[in-house]
Amino acid sequence: MAKLIITAIGSAGDVHPLIGIGAALAARGHRIIFCTHVPFAELVEQRGFEFVPIGTHEAYATAMADPALWNPRTSFRTLWNVIAPTLRTHFDTLASLADADTVLVGTLWAFSARLMQEVHGVPLVSVQVSPSTLLSAHAPPTHKRLTIPRRLPLALKAGLLSLVEHHVLDKVCGPALNALRGELGLEPVRRIMGDWLHSTDGILCLFPDWFAPPQPDWPKPHLLSGFPLFNDLGGLPPDPELEAFLAAGERPLVFTAGSTLIDQATYTHAVQEALRLSGLRGILLTPDAAGLGTPGGASDATPVVHGALLKRRYVPMGTLLPRCRALVHHGGIGTAALAYAAGVAQIVTPFAHDQFDNAQRVADSGCGMRVDAPVNGWTLARAIDKVLSNPSMALQCGRIQERLGVAADGCEVAAAYIERFVQRPAASACAPGQVERAWSEAYQVQGA
């Protein structure tokens, strides 16, 4: 049995997939210590994992409520300003927990785990939940403000990407990270997001190659595990009113803006107007359901012309989407993956972070369309009509659904890959090709 310390930093879309992978590792007999934000403590402990907090409940709530976190112009710096103060504390925590049987697993912002690998040689599997931060000149990620056109010559794209790294990303992260590196006796680093943050042992990418084909300049060794289709949060009582709504008429659409900080009243109005114009029914998943979204609570069925809107705070997408016509969402990759698995078309309305890149990949896959802000009733209704009247999109959604139906379980593939680093030396101490062979063997588990 190994001690696996998982660091998951970010929103629910960053934490939930690691919960699923942690469950698969625990089922293999390993001890799971889960480091994440305080609001996820109950979910972590429900799974029987040991919980270690990162930051405070108040700091996380304040960050999530900050409009600057959801503005493409300020989101990166705002997020870093939340993470940077926790780096030393989390590093010291990891150092106190790690022993000779420890393997570290960390999402994008788990910089402290990467420092542990450098300072103490603890094996680390770094996890890419979405492909947007695998910075590639061959296939530059889509962003609201800094997208590099793919039609440009490769040398020019590489030069522009280097400028973005040095003058935007390093400029934000470099001072605090390199100050801490100095305290730990390490030299300063550059290309922090494009190079340094990726583990030299192994990189686990939680998506399939048809969603994001591997590029020649991606860091190695890496494994594409496929989507970890984890949506079992457990403990939800029956919701008879939701069941009655689903049974009362034609299949509804599902709308959600995720944890994105938006004007919920304005978004709700846009959804209502879109349903009025299209004559359809819908379910809106929204944090302002004010107790109405708790399964078993009172309903909030709001009549609109030719249809109805039902509000809920949360419903598991894995069970809801197969009973619906389409999904309108913010662009979280976990949400997109569940829509693919359900075989429903997607309308993606990105607001910040990796959502723009995910939205473009959904559109490129032929299973949906991207609609940038401003989102209003007319633009949503127009997009709904285009998606639902497109037979080729429906066929492609079915093809992808069938493909996912026969694919290996993403959580199990990820767990098998992580397990290969148990009782293995760090990459720097391995014989040439040893880690690459481990990666190749793990990839065969996927049936690729």
**pLDDT tens digit sequence for 8-28:** 998 888 999 999 999 999 999
Residue 81 lies in a domain: yes
The boundaries of the domain holding residue 95 are 3-226+408-445
| The model's pTM | 0.87
Residue 187 lies in a domain: yes
pLDDT for the residue numbered 424? 58
Q: Which residues contact 363 (CB under 8 A, 6 or more apart)?
A: 348, 369, 370
The upper half-sphere exposure of residue 375, i.e. CA atoms within 13 Å in the direction of its Cβ, equals 29
Q: How far apart are CA 307 and CA 324, in angstroms?
A: 15
Residues 211 and 261 in one domain: no
pLDDT of 448 > 70? The answer is no
277-292 mean pLDDT? 81
Higher per-residue pLDDT: 437 or 343: 343
Residues 94 and 133 in one domain: yes
Residues 138 and 278 in one domain: no
CATH code assigned at 317: 3.40.50.2000
* Residue that has been written with the tokens 């022993």 in this structure: 99
At 87-138, the pLDDT tens digits run 999 999 999 999 999 999 999 999 999 999 999 999 999 999 999 989 999 9
Q: How far apart are CA 238 and CA 236, in angstroms?
A: 7
Q: What are phi and psi of 269, to 5 degrees?
A: -60, -40
Q: How far apart are CA 329 and CA 337, in angstroms?
A: 12
Least confident of 117-126, 176-185, 310-319, 381-390: 310-319
187-215 mean pLDDT? 96
Residues 197 and 288 in one domain: no
pLDDT for the residue numbered 428? 41
What domain count does the chain have?
2
Residue 208 lies in a domain: yes
Residue 144 lies in a domain: yes
Q: What is the pLDDT confidence band of residue 288, given thresholds at 50, 70 and 90?
A: confident
Residue 235 lies in a domain: no
